[in-house]
Structure 1
Amino acid sequence: MLSQRFQSRILNIFLRFFQNFQQRKIRIFSLLFAVGIGLVLFVSACSSGTNQQATTTPTEQATSTPNQSPAVSSNTVRIGFQKAGTILSALKTRGDLEKALAASGASVTWSEFPSGPPMLEAINSGSIDFGYTGEAPPIFAQAAGTPLVYVAYDPWSTKAEAILVHKDSPIKTVADLKGKKVAFAKGSNTNYLVVKALEKAGLQYTDIQAVTLQPADGRAAFEGKNVDAWAIWDPYLALAEKATGARALTDATGLAPNRGYYLAAKSFVDAHADTLKIVLDEVKKTSDWAKNNPSEVAKFLAPALGIDAAVLEVAEKRRDYGVLTITDEVIAKQQEIADAFYKIKLIPKQINVKDIVWRN
């Protein structure tokens, strides 16, 4: 038999153990309870945030989803330009548009693009309101469902784009391009020049190895002789001729109109036609100045473009200028380009150019 004293000691040990165990249970339960409350609050907050986000998501999606233009700012015109695009580059540098818009309480922002297609992608995404490209990009954009509008055109020049080969190239005619690598910016005006030049030479578009590159990459590929030919526009054309002695197989004469187009987001045209007219008026003033002062334009743009003024002057003197109303004849020529692209499956569906022409 255990002594009473020993039994008492054993009993005390069990009692302390039980008390400690109960205290631990309480602490553990309290901890679990606190964690549970925290999780409930967190989930509740997340749910609240999700519900709040759900009320704003449609608007945010409308801003970023292609083919849906966002609400147009009433006091800011967002313009896309190409550094090599004479008129808008000059307009930006001169600051005349800012002054004209200020009188109506509006302002302007500028975004630079390497060529027309990415600029029109920006219109599609709702990032810009207005821009200028060659004749082919708006056709690709319309076929893709971009909500844009032709608002004016620029006659430019058939001499201002060409298909170049190296000065020592054995390629003498467009027909000699069969099986060769030809670089150009996909969806650009020179894309159409290549199509028409091949057609005239009795070749199919599939007879060449098309290498689609933006101007800077195209120049590097051409100068590095990684491609056999390069279809390009001024002033890159004039620069390549001067820097490398490149030969032109053909320019656009008799092949493509090589017009430029001023384009705007449909939402901007619908909401701010008066502001658009101010923009076009200032563009025309700059165009008139450029037409009468090719040497001044060249000197003015040389620092921004990093191209010698003498080279730019060559480009300026072989182009035309204007901010002209789009006529039925102009529409018909654009339709010819669209039909040609559809025929060779460069665009997925037939389009009607006249459907997106601004009738101001």
Structure 2
Amino acid sequence: MTSRRSIAGAAALMALLAGCSHSGGKATLDLSAALPAQVPTGTVIRIGDPAIQADLQASGLDKELTDAGVRIEWANISGGPQSIQAFRGNKLDCGSVADIPSLFAAWTGTATKIVFQAVTVDPLKFPTYELGVAPGRHISSLADLRGKKIAYSAGQAQGALVLRVLQKAGLTQKDVQLIDMTSTGDTYMTALGGKAVDVAPLGTTQVATYLGKYPGSSAIATGIRDDASTLYCLTRAVQDPAKAAALKTYVGVRTKALLWQNEHPQEYAKAYLEGNQGLSPAAAQAYLDVHGKVGIPASWDAAQARLQATADLLAAEQDHRKLDVSTLADRRFEQVEAAAAGDRVVTGDAS
């Protein structure tokens, strides 16, 4: 006699395969099909999301993933260059990034989908970057950038920010000298301190260190929103029915982890800033002082509109093909995220 467990298992399998096509014996989930709810036994997703990994472990929310049958192979990877390289080597399914990597993945032939969007509450009060100014250079406004040497990395968020700053100032690339330079570690601070460049985008956590290290240096605000925060995944991972089910669970739990981070900043600092990033307690506190709370948007509309504007700007300024960014987001996960946040979603996109 067939057991109830066998019947339930068969039903779960049928639900998982609904909306799937089959090629070469492997099921492929249609991108318009409902996300499966049941995670098959043995499903593994490979994720580079170090801050959330620390949040989950510190908060105990990792148990929700385990209970749902989600197994994660964590990679200490974040940011565009690392994640795209790992995608191409088939070493990663998903990575935490700002918005620019999704564009460059598309432009360089790596198919990805955004499955998570977050915003900063009061983003102009808590910017991600300021413009560091080299010692002795008298730059107090964006208009003063004319003729200056500016550190520029085309494939990073800092590069896009530079182009947006020029646009806001009414300047073009011909009005300044863009110095190609990838931002890694203290590269930009060193370039500023040695006057190899006049201006460079610095993370707000770097600014105090920079000003203290180089007498006569300064920094100015951009007045531009720069708080994009996403999780993006290989399209083929989202099309895998088992991984899609696991990601549905992960997106919900990730939402809870970010809200936990808002409510437990000291625990977050201990677990991630000190434990993973190696910051001292004082440096971790300095980080918290300049970073606002994370908001879970009720809708992705505003974030997508900003991404489209950025894509259009980069296409024009960097000679890329035009992109319709609606093809880069898997908005089935939009409601998963919002449902997990419940009444703590932010409306108006925290602007």
TM-score when normalising by structure 1: 0.68
Q: 1:248 aligns with which of 219, 230, 235?
A: 219
- Cα distance between partner residues in 2 of 1:78 and 1:325: 27
TM-superposition CA deviations, 1:304-344 (whole Å, max 9, x none)? 32333333334334323134465222211110000000111
Report the counterpart of residue 330 of structure 1 in structure 2.
303
Matching residue's letter, 1:228: D
Aligned residues: 282
User: Using a 3 Å threshold, how does the CA distance of structure 1 residues 137 and 79 change in structure 2: closer, same or farther?
Assistant: same
The 5 A counterparts of 1:78-117 are 78-81=46-49, 87-88=51-52, 90-91=54-55, 94=58, 96=60, 99-113=63-77, 115-117=79-81
Q: Which stretch shows the higher mean deviation, 319-328 or 286-295?
A: 319-328
1:282 aligns with 2:246: no
Report the counterpart of residue 140 of structure 1 in structure 2.
104
1:230 aligns with 2:194: no
Report the counterpart of residue 32 of structure 2 in structure 1.
none
Report the counterpart of residue 91 of structure 2 in structure 1.
127
- Cα distance between partner residues in 2 of 1:354 and 1:192: 19
Q: Which structure carries more relative contact order (alpha carbon 8 Å, separation 6+)?
A: 2
Q: Is the 8 A contact 1:148 1:266 kept in 2?
A: yes
Q: Is the 8 A contact 1:151 1:357 kept in 2?
A: yes
- Cα distance between partner residues in 2 of 1:236 and 1:282: 31
Q: 1:354 aligns with which of 307, 314, 326?
A: 326
User: Using a 3 Å threshold, how does the CA distance of structure 1 residues 144 and 183 change in structure 2: closer, same or farther?
Assistant: same
Q: Which stretch shows the higher mean deviation, 105-114 or 87-96?
A: 87-96
Q: Alignment partner of 1:145: what SS?
A: coil
Matching residue's letter, 1:208: Q
Q: CA deviation at 1:188?
A: 2.2
- Cα distance between partner residues in 2 of 1:237 and 1:146: 34
Higher helix share: 1
User: Using a 3 Å threshold, how does the CA distance of structure 1 residues 213 and 257 change in structure 2: closer, same or farther?
Assistant: closer
Give the gaps of 5 or more residues in structure 2. Answer: 1-23, 25-40, 333-351
Q: CA RMSD in A?
A: 2.9
Shift >6 Å, 4+ stretches: none
Report the counterpart of residue 228 of structure 2 in structure 1.
259
Q: Alignment partner of 1:112: what SS?
A: coil
Matching residue's letter, 1:112: N
- Cα distance between partner residues in 1 of 2:42 and 2:204: 35
Q: Is the 8 A contact 2:151 2:200 kept in 1?
A: yes
Q: CA deviation at 1:153?
A: 0.8
Q: CA deviation at 1:120?
A: 2.7
Q: CA deviation at 1:81?
A: 3.7
- Cα distance between partner residues in 2 of 1:274 and 1:138: 22
User: Using a 3 Å threshold, how does the CA distance of structure 1 residues 89 and 75 change in structure 2: closer, same or farther?
Assistant: closer
Give the gaps of 5 or more residues in structure 1. Answer: 1-58, 60-72
Report the counterpart of residue 77 of structure 1 in structure 2.
45
Q: Is the 8 A contact 1:185 1:212 kept in 2?
A: yes
User: Using a 3 Å threshold, how does the CA distance of structure 1 residues 258 and 249 change in structure 2: closer, same or farther?
Assistant: same
Q: 2:164 aligns with which of 188, 196, 199?
A: 196
Higher Cα Rg: structure 1 or 2? 1
- Cα distance between partner residues in 1 of 2:169 and 2:250: 42
Q: CA deviation at 1:79?
A: 1.2
Report the counterpart of residue 311 of structure 1 in structure 2.
283
- Cα distance between partner residues in 1 of 2:308 and 2:247: 25
TM-superposition CA deviations, 1:202-225 (whole Å, max 9, x none)? 321242223322331333333444
Matching residue's letter, 1:295: Q
TM-score when normalising by structure 2: 0.70
Q: Is the 8 A contact 1:155 1:321 kept in 2?
A: yes
Percent of aligned pairs with the same residue? 23
Matching residue's letter, 1:160: T
Q: Alignment partner of 1:304: what SS?
A: coil
Q: 1:270 aligns with which of 239, 244, 248?
A: 239
Q: CA deviation at 1:195?
A: 0.7
User: Using a 3 Å threshold, how does the CA distance of structure 1 residues 218 and 177 change in structure 2: closer, same or farther?
Assistant: same
Q: Which stretch shows the higher mean deviation, 281-290 or 104-113?
A: 104-113
